[in-house]
Amino acid sequence: MELWRYYRILKRSRWLILIGVLTCVGVVGGMIYFSPQNYEATSTILEKSAVNSDPVNVYSQYGGSYGIDPRFRLSTLSALMQSQVVLQRTAMTLYTMNITTDPATILRTVSVSPIQDTGLIGIKVVSDSAEVAKATVDTLVAEFLRFYSELNGRNVADTKALIQKELPQAKQHLSTVREELRKFKEQDNAVMVPRQLEINLTMLSQYQQQYSQEEMAARQSQARINECNAQLSRLPEFRVVGTTVATNPIWQSLQQELLAREVDLDTMLRDRTPEHPEVKTLQRRVDETKQKLRGVAEQVLANTSKSPDPVHDTLRQQYAQSLVDQASANVGKLAILKSMSPIQTELRKLPKKEMELAQLTVEEDAAKNTYELLRQKLDEATVKENEAQTVSDFVVADAGSVDIVRNKTALKLGMAAVLGLIACSVLALLLDYMDNTVKSPVDAEKALGLPVLSSVPIMKRHILFGSGSSAVLDSSYQMLSLNLDSNSSGLNKGNFLVASSSPSVGRSTTAANTAVALARDGYKVVLVDADMRFPAQHSIFQMDNSKGLSNVLTGQLSAQAALQETTEKGLSLIPSGPIPTNPVRLLRSPEMAGFLSEVSSLADFVVFDSPAGTVFADGIILAGLIKTVIIVQAAGSIPRGAETDFIERIRRSDANILGVVLNGVDPEVCDVYHHFKDSYEFRGGK
């Protein structure tokens, strides 16, 4: 049942929905038509190390592990590419190259994201110029590779500086050890070293070389750790991506205080001069408040949105990797020292001269290996620095290519139509829910607390009198005639008053049509136009109004003499007659009671028309005299309390209200006329 009601509501609002849908489609179509053609430049880069390398695993003997997930690394690199540093450098490069005068606008269209299940990173830029889009994506990739190279190149530079600092010391130490070995051989005439001792010395030398390598690796790792710590201390962990400001409550309070004091000052100046002491005091307070306002900000920061800084995250990863490398080197040093211990114990058992020779030989080999290792590391660092080894870790898999951005006109228009239909349907249901007008008989009965005798639909021709009247209108008044006939026992000698609280609700038309319907049912009917304010019945039936009710009540005519026969068989009319100066006095005169008695004897039913009840007192007086009332209510009106007040006053006059005639009902709202329309108008009454 609810679905059927919703369908009826939507059907009634079909024009609103149609206009809304067409408006949505038109707006979207206009935006598509007038929007410039956009171009999308794309590029793809591949990090070889992220694809080929496995996560680093250390402390395996303790069951622990440390690794960097390649997917997390690609996400970090994507965020790094969209960092403020890279975007600002790209914007500056584009501006310097005169590619665009507004690079910031273009960079807002940059989209960087890892391509799922691959080691690739995709970059997209949208612009209304193909050249600008391609130049932007190429510049962005170049600036990212340069920035990434700088981040990783700092480690190479630090390592090179450390080696250059230690290399002269290693060379000096080698020279010193060689000189001591030479002097020892000259003084002791070159003592021969046994074969087994020579083997042990060789092994010890190799261990010391490995120890030197691990020591160098540990120092390099410590240098990287120190550098990362220094940079991390300067960089914030999170960056601000958005802020929200609000009105400063202190400023607002001062502003209200200033306004109140200025109002008081203006009021005081109306009665006193500016030199009055109280005026001066209040003026001083106003100036003090203004001074405080100048020192308080109007807006304050209410909320700040932050996100992790990709540069900070990259440094954290480098810091963690350096810790892993340092720990690995320390573990290696301990293992080498453990292997060297038995050999050093054997050397201590040698005679004094052989032991001194062995120690000097080992020291010479260790100093030589250390010096050569430092030279090798210095060469490697120089090569990495010159050839930008870190940049070569990335491969531009797909250079900037440009495609036209498809507008997807059909999809957008279709979506606009669907969303417009949904939005307008919801709007129609919402408007119906918020609509508190009387639309149906059910609404009228709830609002007025009276039964509905008949519902009269909206019609082009609303008069039964004459030719061309509608069948549905005729059926409405036949229903009213039937209800009056069934309630004839409640009528006062067949007399009833047609009244309404408001004007322009079809009260006079209802009275005329009711009289016609009763006459067509075979009754003898008299229609009395008791509206001596704005009479209408003589116009409806096109009859003379020179004599009528006002003449009867002033004693000029009898009721019989005032009767005028209409062209409708069985229906007579007593028009209002000339408009009197005081209709209320006439209605309350003894002549009115005599008129009611006389006219009741002339017909089966006497129908009285009346003026609006909330405007004039005529209706209440007539209701107290006639005792039977039919209320006319217009559909589509909003109950404002006048209707219930009018009904209550009628009841206080001891009149009986038979019910309500609801005028101007929309056939789509009323089930009776909806079925009448489907069954009789469209199917020929079958």
Residue 235's pLDDT band (cuts 50, 70, 90):
confident
Sequence letter at residue 48: K
Give the CA angle between residues 497, 502, 508 to the nearest 5°: 45
**Start-to-end Cα distance in the chain:** 26
- pLDDT score for 56: 37
Q: What percentage of the chain has pLDDT greater than the value 90?
A: 12
Is the pLDDT at 686 greater than 50, yes or no?
no
- In this model, does residue 683 exceed pLDDT 50? no
The pLDDT tens digits of the residues spanning 512-550 come to 989 998 898 888 999 999 999 999 999 888 899 999 999
Rg (CA), the chain: 52
pLDDT at 632: 92
Q: Are 469 and 463 in contact (CB under 8 A)?
A: yes
Phi, psi of 683 (to 5 degrees): -120, 15
Measured CA to CA, the distance from residue 135 to residue 138 in angstroms comes to 5
pLDDT the model gives residue 111:
85
Confidence class of residue 610 from pLDDT cuts 50, 70 and 90? Answer: very high
DSSP 676: H
**Closest residue by Cα to residue 146 from 92, 219, 204:** 92
Task: Look up the pTM and report it.
Answer: 0.49
- Report the chain's mean pLDDT, rounded to a whole number: 78
- Confidence (pLDDT) at 146: 81
The pLDDT, as a whole number, for residue 532 is 92
Nearest to 391 by CA among 634, 149, 632: 149
What sign does the dihedral 369-374-379-381 (CA atoms) show?
positive
User: Lowest-confidence range among 168-172, 305-309, 383-387, 528-532?
Assistant: 383-387
Q: What is the pLDDT of residues 634-678, one digit of tens each?
A: 887 777 778 888 889 999 988 999 999 988 887 766 655 555 555
| pLDDT for residue 573 | 94
Among the ranges given (56-60, 119-123, 672-676), the one the predictor scored with the smallest mean pLDDT: 56-60
Handedness of CA 200, 201, 206, 212 (dihedral sign): positive
369-385 core/surface letters (b: 16 or more CB in 10 A; e: else):
bbbebbeebbeebeebe
Instruction: Mark out the alpha helices in 36-129 (DSSP H runs).
Output: 48-52, 70-81, 84-96, 103-107
Q: How far apart are CA 425 and CA 286, in angstroms?
A: 56
For the ranges 55-69, 281-295, 375-389, which has the lowest average pLDDT?
55-69
Which are the contacts of 256, defined by CB distance < 8 A and separation ≥ 6? none
Mean pLDDT value across residues 601-625:
90
3-state secondary structure of 189: coil
Phi then psi dihedrals of residue 402, to 5 deg: -115, 135
Contact in structure between 315 and 207 (CB atoms under 8 Å): no
State the pLDDT at residue 637: 76
| Candidates 3.30.460, 3.40.1000, 3.30.1890, 3.30.70; CATH matching 2-160+394-409 | 3.30.1890
Residue 145 confidence (pLDDT) above 60 = yes
Phi/psi for 337 (5° steps) reads -60, -35
Superfamily assignment of 441-681 in CATH? P-loop containing nucleotide triphosphate hydrolases (3.40.50.300)
Q: How confident is the model at residue 631 (pLDDT cuts 50, 70, 90)?
A: very high
| C-alpha 663 chain-centroid distance | 44
Q: Comparing C-alpha atoms, which of 590, 588, 566 is closest to residue 516?
A: 566
Residue 288's CB is within 10 A of a number of other CB atoms, namely: 12
- Which residues partner with 303 through β-bridges? 244
Q: Do the Cβ atoms of 623 and 653 come closer than 8 Å?
A: yes
What would the two tokens of residue 24 be? 């949505």
Q: Report whether pLDDT(1) > 50.
A: no
Percent of the chain scored above 70 by pLDDT?
78
Query: CA-to-CA distance for 167 and 163, rounded, in angstroms?
Result: 6
Phi, psi of 499 (to 5 degrees): -135, 165
Evaluate if residue 191 carries a pLDDT over 70: no
CB 573 within 8 A of CB 497: no
Contact criterion met (CB below 8 Å) for 28 and 20:
no
Decide which of 477 and 683 is more confident.
Answer: 477
DSSP H/E element including 111: strand 111-114
39-47 vs 120-127, strand pairing mode: antiparallel
Could you tell me which of 659, 608, 655 has the C-alpha nearest to residue 633? Answer: 659
Mean pLDDT calculated for residue range 343-369:
67
Top-confidence range, 20-24, 83-87, 321-325, 326-330: 20-24
CA distance 641 to 230: 79
pLDDT at 193 over 90: no
Does the pLDDT at position 426 exceed 80? Answer: yes
Which of 371 and 580 is assigned the larger pLDDT? 580
pLDDT digits 0-9 by tens, 307-336: 677 777 777 888 888 888 888 888 888 888
Q: Is the pLDDT of residue 112 over 80?
A: yes
Contact status, residue 306 vs residue 239, Cβ threshold 8 Å: yes
